[in-house]
Amino acid sequence: MRSPGEGVHVAVVGYGYWGSKHVRVLCSMPSVAVTVVDEHTGRLAEALSRHPGIRVAEHVHDVLDDVDAVVVATPPGSHAAVALAALDAGCHVLVEKPLTTTVPDAETLVDRARRADVRLMVGNTFEYNPAVARLREIVRSGVLGRILYIDTARLSLGRYQSDVNVVWDLAPHDISIVSYLLDEMPAATAVWAQRNIGRRHADIAYLRLSFERSRTQAFVHVSWLDPNKVRRVTVVGDRKMAVYNDLSDTERIRIYDAGVDSTTLDGSPEAHAMPVTYRTGDITSLAVPYSEPLLVQDQHFLSCVRTGETPRTPGSRGLDIVRVLATADDMGGSWPMVSGGFVPAPIAPGSATTPVAAS
């Protein structure tokens, strides 16, 4: 165990869109030395011009003897190989979502970290987002009533990925958020996916996630082919409803005192009567103080490196999410044309190995 302020040397592997953000937040922390690894020298030159104090290298194997921890921010298909090399060198490892692109690879990482007694964490960034934590408090407080369903939308024009489809790219966020809100992993999933552009990957998809203990469903819509950028989670309860809009600066969470009551299900003989009555009341906007989720997440990772504490989002949580994604693939999510998921597929035994909210 180290003292809280003791120096830590971290290598960030992959200085692309997201790895560059890790480097920015890590460089802002005291007592943290950063080495950037990227196989493209142009990316290394860019990193050095922004952060003159860092070291750089082209291959992860060249730095493993010198660093305490590794952040893996390469494309998903290379996560397993890079993370395994780092774990085998005795480094603590934070892997971006999705943890890996296969269940066996994710199981290997979790097992190898346990044997090496190093911390393995998955970058479920939204679980470090104060607005998501607040929404979780609201769901758990019971103020919304029984959760009838959750709907999520993560849409925009791009960014098309080369090694995974839209489900593996975007749905990890929504599976992470929804299971965190409900404190439960889904027991079954169904997927409809379609490839519109290119020859390889589905670029729009709808998933249904079934939660047994909560007796509810989540509907996840992900798309690389939508004119509007949308990042929204709607939680519909039988008393109130909540909407989390991650793109709003001032009104991230709104609570709607609204609902619908059935009037005929209790045996009313009025065949032509309105089948429901509507309740509409106040709309409340909650003040949620902003902290950058990636900064909170990376601070937590370094705290785990220093203290030996188990991360809130350990590798086993990443494995549970990979199991859901792999089940969606088995239903055809990776196939080019529309795939039908009319009967939910149970997620393989051994899933939900990790308490969803460790804190």
Ligand X SMILES: NC(=O)c1ccc[n+]([C@@H]2O[C@H](COP(=O)([O-])OP(=O)(O)OC[C@H]3O[C@@H](n4cnc5c(N)ncnc54)[C@H](O)[C@@H]3O)[C@@H](O)[C@H]2O)c1
Q: Give the footprint of ligand X on this chain (CB under 6 A).
A: 13-19, 37-40, 43, 60, 73-76, 78, 82, 96-97, 123, 125
* Residue 271 CB, nearest approach to ligand X (Å): 52
Strands (E), 97-240: 120-123, 147-157, 188-194, 204-211, 216-223, 225-237
Phi, psi (deg, nearest 5) at residue 135: -65, -40
Identity (one letter) of the amino acid at 138? Answer: I
Q: State the nearest-atom distance from the C-beta of 16 to ligand X, in Å.
A: 2
> Which residue type occupies 174?
D
Minimal distance in Å, beta carbon 157 to ligand X?
Answer: 15
CA geometry: angle 108, 359, 166, nearest 5 deg:
50
> CB of 66: closest distance to ligand X in angstroms?
16
Nearer to ligand X, 59 or 279 (CB): 59
In terms of CB distance, is 56 or 139 closer to ligand X? Answer: 56
Between residues 179 and 217, which has the closer beta carbon with respect to ligand X? 179
State the minimum distance, in angstroms, from the CB of residue 82 to ligand X.
6
Give how far the C-alpha of residue 77 lies from the chain's centroid of Cα atoms, to the nearest Å.
17
CB nearer ligand X, residue 12 or residue 236 = 12
- Give the CB-nearest residue to ligand X: 16
Cis geometry, peptide bond prior to residue 98 (ω within 30 degrees of 0): yes
SS3 233: strand
Q: Beta strands of the chain (E only): which ranges?
A: 8-13, 32-37, 55-57, 69-72, 92-96, 120-123, 147-157, 188-194, 204-211, 216-223, 225-237, 241-245, 253-262, 276-286, 345-346
Cβ–Cβ under 8 Å, residues 11 and 37: yes
Nearest to 322 by CA among 132, 160, 152, 171: 171
Place of tokens 């045996």: 267
Least CB distance to ligand X at residue 39 (A): 4
Looking at beta carbons only, is 204 or 236 nearer to ligand X?
204
For ligand X, the closer of residues 43 and 312 by Cβ is: 43
In the complex, minimum distance from the CB of residue 294 to ligand X, in angstroms, rounded to a whole number? 7
Smaller CB separation from ligand X, 128 or 211: 128
